[in-house]
Amino acid sequence: MMCPAMCREPYGGEEVWIPIMIKRRSFLSVLSAGAVALLTRNVFGGVVGGGRKPNIIIILADDLGYEDVSCQGAKDLATPNIDRLSKDGVRFTEGYVSAPVCSPSRAGLLTGRYQQRFGHEFNTPVGRRPEVGLPVSEKTMGDRLRAAGYATGWVGKSHLGSSPQFHPLNRGFDEFFGFLASVHRYTPPHNNPKNPVCRGFEPVVENEYLTDALTREAVSFMTRHKDEPFFLYVAYNAIHGPMEDPPAKYTGRFPQITDWAKLVHAGMVAALDDGVGAMLGKLSELRLEQDTLVFFLSDNGGARGNGSDNGMLSGVKGTLQEGGIRVPFLMQWKGRAPAGKVYREPVISLDICVTALGAAGVGEGGSAPLDGVDLVPFVAGQAQGSPHERLYWRMGAEYAIRQGKWKLLKTGDGPPRLFDLAGDVGETADVSGREPEVVKQLGEAYARWDAQLAKPLWKPPAYRGQVQLED
């Protein structure tokens, strides 16, 4: 299948390419956005004196469990390259995403806003519905950083809409190599006309193991744009199903694993880890380590059926329990963020956008406020206290709110339950009966937040238990 030529056509008040065929707490809260950016650049060594703006790389895994990497306690696995980010940067033990499933989580990550504010509450429905996707009214990190002079590249999975107006090249990205749907097989050849791997808008036949192909393209982008500031979003589909045998160069590292499903899982994680290593190695080769802010996280917690391990956390992908929303979350910015730091205050994927904009000296702009916080002052000890007073989640009738050690969780038909995460990370003991004032306070805070949100733009896909079929 070949895509025809392209032209620019109006859509939603602007032109798109069409194929023809800190919010801040503590002392930062009193500063203007411009003053915060200036402070951040001077204190942490960013673009002072007209120097190079830092590169920004976001590496997003798919359905990776909380303990699927060795720096998080993985069993029978070794992830030395992902661990390098922890050794040379910051590991957030209480790092969250804004949704327990792929598409809304990615919408929040790329906009820096709770996705429920603009109706992107659920996974996109099964099948190609042309009106469904990340609303074009929302600015992405690509939009903001490209306007600031960055070369912008997107490698990997989208899952944010299949129509041209939702295509990465129309959402602030100069280059795209990947696929638009929620799921893709790993083994070549990749030539499915219903879900093609594309370079830009053009389908290509790809003959590499898909994780390796995405790594190749990410490294190529870094090499080609080494002389200018770049923003690279690498959205692997590993370790999301389908469960297919990885190349022997990965599975052969685990002779002790005899169970097929566990071996496939281990091989998929090894391929992902090698990809991270290739990117970090390229940064070192290009002498860009000091000039690059790197984030690594998963889009949601580990899923049933792919061998992932959420450790002591309760729940899995698709739930608002800790195992669905707490993920591996790492940040490296050599010389700016401390090395080897373990940060134990709650943070969320929405913070990545604001942190990146602060590093780049880019104001938040626009009438829609961002919900994230610049993390650099907090991890460097320049800002005290927790980055967030509260974190929120909503998925249909289910919701959660976290404040300090407390988490109020509403699932099913019963009343909300209260958990003390400081001593019960597995959410085993409901303490709502002995803490009625905490329940009342958190319930009222959630109601105030909920009143700000939009109605979902589409219904959720069909469910199998707690896991959505589309994803």
Quick one: 410 and 364 in the same domain? no
Element housing 3 (H / E):
none
pLDDT in tens, 384-431: 999 999 999 999 999 999 999 999 999 998 999 999 999 999 999 999
Residues annotated as catalytic are 102, 159
Name the burial class of residue 5, with classes exposed (0-12), middle (13-18) and buried (19+) by CB atoms within 10 angstroms of its CB. Answer: exposed
pLDDT in tens, 127-176: 668 899 999 999 999 999 999 999 999 999 999 999 999 999 999 999 99
* pLDDT at 30 (0 to 100): 33
**Plot region of 311 (φ>0 → left; ψ -120 to 50 → alpha; else → beta):** left
Q: Is residue 24's pLDDT more than 80?
A: no
Quick one: 367 and 415 in the same domain? no
In a domain, 471, yes or no: no
| pLDDT: which is higher, 131 or 350 | 350
Residue 52 DSSP symbol: P
In a domain, 418, yes or no: yes
Reported confidence tier of residue 126, pLDDT bands at 50, 70, 90: low
pLDDT in tens, 184-225: 999 998 888 889 999 999 999 999 999 999 999 999 999 999
Quick one: 80 and 212 in the same domain? yes
Reported confidence tier of residue 461, pLDDT bands at 50, 70, 90: confident
Task: Identify whether the C-beta of residue 112 lies closer than 8 Å to the C-beta of residue 354.
Answer: yes
Neighbours of 192 (CB within 10 A): 14
CA 257 to chain centre: 30
Quick one: 32 and 174 in the same domain? yes
Reported confidence tier of residue 36, pLDDT bands at 50, 70, 90: very low
Q: Is residue 466's pLDDT more than 70?
A: no
**CATH no. for residue 443?**
3.30.1120.10
How far the first Cα of the chain sits from its last, in Å, is 25
* pLDDT at 127 (0 to 100): 66
Residue listed under structure tokens 């659920």 = 122
User: For residue 233, what are its two tokens?
Assistant: 């979003």
Residues 6+ apart with CB under 8 A from 393: 98, 99, 100, 320, 325, 399, 400, 401
Which CA distances in Å does 387 have to 33, 94, 322, 343, 383? 16, 12, 19, 11, 9
What does the alpha-carbon distance between residue 404 and residue 420 come to, in Å, rounded to a whole number? 9
In a domain, 208, yes or no: yes
pLDDT in tens, 245-289: 999 999 999 999 999 999 999 999 999 999 999 999 999 999 999
| DSSP character string of 221-254 | HHHHTTTS-EEEEEE--TTSSP--PPPHHHHTT-
Quick one: 413 and 358 in the same domain? no
Residue 279's domain spans which residues? Answer: 12-379
* pLDDT at 169 (0 to 100): 98
What does the alpha-carbon distance between residue 86 and residue 88 come to, in Å, rounded to a whole number? 6
* pLDDT at 193 (0 to 100): 87
In a domain, 203, yes or no: yes
What does the alpha-carbon distance between residue 443 and residue 235 come to, in Å, rounded to a whole number? 35
Of 351, 379, 407, the residue that ends a domain is 379
Quick one: 412 and 354 in the same domain? no
Element housing 221 (H / E):
helix 210-224
| DSSP character string of 26-50 | GGGGGS-HHHHHHHHHHHHTSSGGG
Question: Which of 102, 116, 217 is closest to 161 using CA atoms?
Answer: 102
Mean pLDDT of 111-139: 92
Structure pTM? 0.90
CA 61 to chain centre: 8
Residue listed under structure tokens 């907090």 = 378
| Domain count across the chain | 2
Task: Identify whether the C-beta of residue 69 lies closer than 8 Å to the C-beta of residue 328.
Answer: yes
SS3 at position 356: helix
What does the alpha-carbon distance between residue 436 and residue 240 come to, in Å, rounded to a whole number? 40
Residue 469 DSSP symbol: T
Quick one: 447 and 331 in the same domain? no
Share of the chain above pLDDT 90, in %: 82
What does the alpha-carbon distance between residue 368 and residue 379 come to, in Å, rounded to a whole number? 26
* pLDDT at 9 (0 to 100): 46
Task: Identify whether the C-beta of residue 106 lies closer than 8 Å to the C-beta of residue 299.
Answer: yes
Q: Which residues of 206-229 are buried (b: 16+ CB within 10 A; e: fewer)?
A: bebbbbbbbbbbbbebbeebbeeb
pLDDT in tens, 38-88: 333 333 434 433 478 999 999 999 999 999 999 999 988 999 999 999 999
In a domain, 53, yes or no: yes
In a domain, 386, yes or no: no
* pLDDT at 76 (0 to 100): 87
* pLDDT at 6 (0 to 100): 52
* pLDDT at 365 (0 to 100): 76
Quick one: 322 and 420 in the same domain? no
**CATH no. for residue 363?**
3.40.720.10
Backbone torsions φ then ψ of 155, nearest 5 degrees:
-125, 125
Quick one: 313 and 349 in the same domain? yes
Quick one: 143 and 283 in the same domain? yes
Question: Strand 175-179 to strand 55-61: parallel, antiparallel, or no bridges (unpaired)?
Answer: unpaired
Residue listed under structure tokens 């602030």 = 172
Q: Is residue 105's pLDDT more than 60?
A: yes
* pLDDT at 464 (0 to 100): 43
Q: Is residue 31's pLDDT more than 50?
A: no
For the ranges 68-82, 103-117, 191-205, 451-465, which has the lowest average pLDDT?
451-465
* pLDDT at 75 (0 to 100): 86
Q: Answer positive or negative: Cα dihedral of 348, 350, 351, 355.
A: positive
Quick one: 81 and 29 in the same domain? yes
